[in-house]
Chain A
Amino acid sequence: MFNYTFHWNQALKALPQMLDGALITLQIALLSMLIGVVCALALTGFRLSGNRALSGFATAWIEIARNTPALFQIYMAHFGLGNFGIHLSPYTALLVGIAFNNAGYLAENFRGALKAIPDTQARAGRSLGMTALQAFRYIILPQMMRVAFLPTTNQMVWAILMTSLGVTVGMNTDLAGVTQELNARSFRTFEFFALAAVIYYVIAKAVTLAARAIASRMFRY
């Protein structure tokens, strides 16, 4: 069946290069999550604002992000924006695409988390003399974080996995890109990509475990 010699040594020799790529992968994922969370909070605010234009904009963003493939969104950032004379590098296009996607999914999570907190709590805060901002900051937000934390970490894992799509728009510095480049040079596809798969798995698991540790410290009560 296997008339093929595996050359794991070649792949292992390239491990430092691939780990450098893994750092870039993590960097993109973290940045995209930061941008995503900020955009998602803004979108959630827009939706609650009661302003028709703002909530329409937010709804459109969320539905497009959730109902089209992430790869399509990255293509849009890379090829589509070229129509307006905006030419993004693969890195920026990947970041924009994933951040857009994250924002859509996170906004939906935040909305669910807000819904889980009864209105009466904010009103109780207001009647104790808190300003609207104080009520949000000290009563709503801590509880919202508790509900939204797990979905947000899931989204972080998704963001890490999504960064691998960068290779389709010519990204060659992240883990998938580096692996593809090594593969193109040696045609040891299976070995290199198997190693990449292991690295992705370890990163994803590490993030999940770290999030669980943080959650158990932060939400002890």
Chain B
Amino acid sequence: MFSTALTWSDLAFLAQGAAMTLAVTAVSVAAGTLLGILFGVIRVQAGPYWSMPLTFVLDVFRSVPLLIQLVLANAFQSIAKLGWAPFTTSCVVLSLYTAAYCTEIVRGGISSVPATTRRAARSLGMTWWQDMRYIVAPLATRVSLPSWIGLTLGVMKDSALVLWLGLIELLRASQILVTRLQEPLFILLICGAIYFLISFPIARLGGYLEKRWSPND
């Protein structure tokens, strides 16, 4: 009835691709989040006027297609003779891309903390850092975490584009198998199922947290 030329080693090949997808995502989200927190705090501290240059640069990362960004970065690193591997280039671009979105999330989180609460902290004798660490951070995390989870999943899905630089991640791995086995639908369905299995539970968790932690329930 149903027969396929797909072997176990092909499935292992797909799993390797999925591991590459997860590796690129993990590195980019980790670096992007750190940068995003830094930029977010800078944006709040500096105010809208002085942070305009930063806002503009980050906005560029959100208004230019990721594919174009990847191609540009790859061309740039070869022009500048940096000798980066495709993995490095992909991670750098995706980190900045993540940071651009994360900055907005962090900024939203910080500004959701009422000014009065922060003033109360300061008048209790807390330093700026203590206020940030013990008052703002816990409250802002509550507001930001659901959107941060959404961002992480978005980056995971967008990381499929790094195939353009020749990195063999999940989608590229399945494309290679499709070319060899000529069973596009079956292999792509497996590939989609893997993406879905990674993404869906985490998306559900995000939705749950959003409901559970929504500030005015």
Contacts and interface: CB of A to CB of B under 8 A. Distances in A.
Contacts, number: 109
A170 interface: no
A71 B157 CA distance: 9
A79 B79 contact: no
Interface string B182-205: 011110110110011001100100
Nearest to A4: B79
B192 A194 contact: no
Contact of A68 (B72, B74, B157): B157
A137 to B, nearest CB: 31
Given A67-B196, A80-B188, A82-B184, A1 B80 contact: yes
Contacts of A161: 63-66
B171 A194 contact: no
B167 to A, nearest CB: 13
Nearest to B150: A66
Interface in B155-185: 157-158, 160-161, 163-164, 171, 175, 178, 183-185
B81 interface: yes
B192 A72 contact: yes
B60 interface: yes
B75 interface: yes
Contacts of A197: 64, 68-69, 72
A68 B63 contact: no
Interface in B50-96: 60, 63-69, 71-72, 74-76, 79-81
Contacts of A39: none
Contacts of B185: 79-84
Interface residues of B, number: 39
A204 to B, nearest CB: 4
Nearest to B158: A69
A201 interface: yes
Contacts of A67: 153, 157, 195-196, 199-200, 203
A4 B76 CA distance: 11
A135 interface: no
A134 interface: no
A197 to B, nearest CB: 5
A165 B67 contact: yes
Interface residues of A, number: 41
A221 interface: no
A129 B96 CA distance: 56
A68 B178 contact: no
A76 B65 contact: no
A71 B66 CA distance: 12
Interface of A: 1-4, 63-64, 66-72, 75-76, 79-84, 157, 161-165, 167-168, 176, 179, 189-190, 193-194, 196-197, 200-201, 204-205
Given A167-B67, A200-B63, A200-B65, 17 more contacts: A2-B79, A63-B200, A68-B192, A70-B157, A71-B163, A79-B188, A80-B188, A82-B184, A82-B185, A83-B183, A157-B63, A161-B65, A163-B65, A176-B67, A190-B72, A193-B71, A205-B63
27 contacts: A1-B81, A2-B80, A67-B199, A67-B200, A69-B160, A69-B171, A69-B195, A71-B160, A71-B161, A71-B163, A71-B171, A75-B175, A75-B188, A79-B184, A79-B185, A80-B185, A157-B63, A161-B63, A161-B65, A164-B67, A176-B67, A189-B71, A197-B69, A197-B72, A200-B65, A201-B63, A201-B64
- Please provide the 8 A-B residue pairs with the shortest distance between their CB atoms, ordered closest to farther: A83-B185, A164-B65, A190-B75, A79-B184, A67-B199, A69-B157, A189-B75, A69-B160
